[in-house]
Structure 1
Amino acid sequence: MAKLSLAPKTIKYLMFIFNLFFVITGIVLLSIGAVIHGVYHQYQHFLDNRFFSVPSLLVAVGSIIFIIAFFGCCGAVRESYCMIITFCTLLAAIFLLEIIGGIMGYVMRAQVASIAQQKMLDTMPRYNNSYEIQFVWDNLQRDFHCCGTINATDWTNTAKLSGIPMSCCDDTIGAIGMSNCTLSSENLHEVGCIDAFAKFAETHAAKIAGVGIGLGIIQLIGILLSSYLAKSIKNCYQTM
């Protein structure tokens, strides 16, 4: 086997270091994808299926990265042209997937409000008929200290309910017996849920965009390193 000269050897060791960072990016992608998928799942009734595709993509890419890192390490150790080329090709594919994921995350930011608002308005009339819808709405209104889609009157005007849910009001400390939540209650959540929830979802979409593009740039460096190493290995064989 032809041995590499000093400069390609430096690239070889740099590839080992890069693969370490590459595995770390895989762990980051897996973690962020799983966390955001879990967060979105809590409010799946208010989101379109497209919002679940991107965090699922991050989880898939994060898992594949461990396989790709194997080709990179083995290819560098054995100075195998084929393994380095395989690593470079797979890394380029992952790079494109992450850029696509980043772009999709950015595009979704502009669609959050309109999609979530319509979903909210559609689920409100089912509040009394579905425990699942009731559970999601109550959690949403308590977590974000909001009430209704636009405001509290949505429960009587849009949902056609006789009153508004108790989750629209803060719990009264020291209250004994039954308490009611009305439009005139002092502890009523006056803010509508669409603004708070849209901001919440936009923040997570922005995280997806930032992670996808940021890690894509890091992996672009890996593509350049592996391409140079593969070229050096090929040249060594040609000069034998």
Structure 2
Amino acid sequence: MQLGLAPKTIKYLMFAFNLFFVITGIVLLSIGLVIHGVYYQYQHFLDNSFLSVPSLLVAVGSIIFVIAFFGCCGAVRESHCMIVTFCTLLTAIFILEIIGGTMGYVMRTRVATVAEEKMHETMSQYNDSKEIQFVWDNLQRDFECCGTRNASEWTVLKNLTGIPMSCCDTPVGAIGNTSCTIESPTLHHVGCMDAFARFAEKHAAKIAGVGLTLAAIQLIGIFLSSYLARSIRNCYQTM
């Protein structure tokens, strides 16, 4: 069986698209893993939905390699069945990327509300949990912030004797016990909620942008695979 010139052109375009398709899979996998790692590090300040979306990107990125196999093999063998399978799976990936992109956009608007609630909840556990203490200290050092909205929130907590040392920059050459107070010149005056919200919003925006952009690109693959499958079927019918 030989395909006509136009279908052959579509077949070669399918090869080129599948190569690009594999690259998009690597991009999705990489971005998903990076953002999942970032969110996991600060999972105490986010809810589970923030971890589920980068996990979805990782899953989609992994599945893309399998789908690309059907596309390449189907084009080489001019197999109507494999091309249809490729087109169907590509449509499913398209839908998942739309879902991921939309969820990323929705999360972007919820970051501040969720972060503030979680921060207030975990601040009171600072002295009772080494894990919470570690996460808060890292957050306050990394973002050079203190408390949810300001440093004074630490002073009103009943189970704390003062402001955590992570709220202040340790002076160079300091020896012995040092303390961090409202009057300390190295106190971080910025609240952590605003700094962290901007950080998380930036990553949520990346998820939305990558998901929706790649979903638009998948439409090209759906069109090419549909056209090639129809051309192969027509060739069989005219034999």
After TM superposition, the score normalised by the length of structure 1 is: 0.98
Offset, 1:159: 6.1
Matched, 1:153 2:181: no
Aligned to 2:73: 74
Secondary structure in 2 matching 1:138:
helix
Structure 2 matches for 1:11-22, cutoff 5 A?
11-22=10-21
Q: Distance in 2 between matches of 1:160 and 1:189?
A: 21
Offset, 1:156: 1.4
Matched, 1:24 2:19: no
Matched, 1:108 2:121: no
The alignment of Structure 1 onto Structure 2 pairs a total of residues equal to 239
Aligned to 1:50: 49
Aligned to 2:207: 208
Aligned to 2:187: 188
Q: What one-letter code is carried by the residue in structure 2 that aligns with 1:36?
A: I
Aligned to 1:8: 7
Unaligned runs of 5+ in 1: none
Offset, 1:162: 2.1
Q: Deviations over 1:49-104 (max 9, x none)?
A: 00011000001001110110000000000000110000000000000000000000
Q: Deviations over 1:198-238 (max 9, x none)?
A: 00000000000001001111111000000010111111111
Q: What one-letter code is carried by the residue in structure 2 that aligns with 1:94?
A: I
Give the 3 Å change call, closer, same or farther, for CA 159–71 of structure 1 in structure 2.
farther
8 A Cα contact 1:112 1:198, kept in partner: yes
Matched, 1:236 2:213: no
Unaligned runs of 5+ in 2: none
Matched, 1:96 2:61: no
Aligned to 1:141: 140
Q: Distance in 2 between matches of 1:200 and 1:12?
A: 44
Q: Distance in 2 between matches of 1:146 and 1:10?
A: 58
Percent identity (aligned): 77
8 A Cα contact 1:121 1:158, kept in partner: no
Q: Deviations over 1:167-224 (max 9, x none)?
A: 0001101212111110000000000000000000000000000010011111110000
Give the 3 Å change call, closer, same or farther, for CA 160–129 of structure 1 in structure 2.
closer
Offset, 1:160: 5.1
Q: Distance in 1 between matches of 2:114 and 2:221?
A: 38
Q: What one-letter code is carried by the residue in structure 2 that aligns with 1:52?
A: L
Q: Distance in 1 between matches of 2:147 and 2:157?
A: 9
8 A Cα contact 2:71 2:86, kept in partner: yes
Q: Distance in 2 between matches of 1:205 and 1:26?
A: 19
* Structural RMSD (CA): 0.8
8 A Cα contact 1:46 1:115, kept in partner: yes
8 A Cα contact 2:127 2:159, kept in partner: no
After TM superposition, the score normalised by the length of structure 2 is: 0.98
